[in-house]
């Protein structure tokens, strides 16, 4: 998957978790929890949805890599290439 495709799917996941928030101004370099009204359970929902949609394992130690759009794309990109190969 391309970074743009990954970003689009993450935005879709976020839209389901915080449906009343305008995600068009979402900054890739700022942690989600600084931009959106997310609590720890919402963040876990994001991780679980990523695992389900991308069919990959995300160890708990790696959750911090999913804190922002940029870091999530950076984390997921090589894993999704391997999954498709």
Q: Model-level pTM greater than 0.75? A: yes
* Both structure tokens of 20: 């009343």
End-to-end CA distance of the chain: 11
Domain extent for 13: 3-84
**How many whole angstroms separate alpha carbon 68 and alpha carbon 79?**
17
CATH number where 40 lies:
1.10.1200.10
Our count of domains for the chain comes to: 1
Contacts of range 74-77, beta carbons closer than 8 Å, 24 or more positions apart: 76/1, 76/6, 76/50, 77/1, 77/3, 77/6
In tens digits, what is the pLDDT along the chain, a chain of 85 residues?
Answer: 899 999 999 999 999 999 999 999 999 999 999 999 999 999 999 999 999 998 999 999 999 999 999 999 999 999 987 544 4
């Amino acid at each position: 998957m391309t970074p743009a495709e990954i970003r689009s799917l993450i935005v879709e996941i976020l839209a389901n978790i915080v449906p009343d928030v305008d995600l068009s101004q979402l900054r890739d370099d700022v942690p989600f929890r600084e931009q959106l009204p997310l609590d720890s359970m919402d963040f876990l929902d994001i991780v679980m949805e990523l695992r389900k949609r991308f069919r990959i394992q995300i160890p708990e130690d790696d959750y911090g890599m999913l804190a922002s759009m940029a870091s999530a794309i950076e984390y997921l990109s090589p894993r999704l290439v391997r999954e498709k190969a």
